[in-house]
Amino acid sequence: MFAKRPSAPKKITWIIGLVCGIAGMIGHYATVKYLTENNYILLLVGFLVLAVGTTFREA
């Protein structure tokens, strides 16, 4: 179930995490209605997606 060492996430998992993280940063530094309202949530989701992707081999 858990990998003994962190493994590289699948490409789609990495892309989803990256897009969420970038959207969160844009929402923090620029005023974009949806992104600004949810910038911390987007950053958290991006981080969690990447963390899960490196923890589980199947993700």
Domain parsing of the chain, residue ranges:
11-55
Average pLDDT of the residues of the chain:
87
Contacting residues for 58 by C-beta, under 8 A, at least 6 apart: none
The answer, yes or no, to whether residue 28 has pLDDT greater than 50, is: yes
Contact 23, 43 (CB under 8 A): no
Length of the chain: 59
Residue 47 has pLDDT above 60, yes or no: yes
pLDDT at 4: 63
- pLDDT (0 to 100) of residue 55: 84
Percentage of the chain lying above the pLDDT 70 cut = 88
Alpha-carbon distance of 12 to 23, in angstroms, equals 16
Q: State mean pLDDT over 8-33.
A: 91
pLDDT at position 54: 86
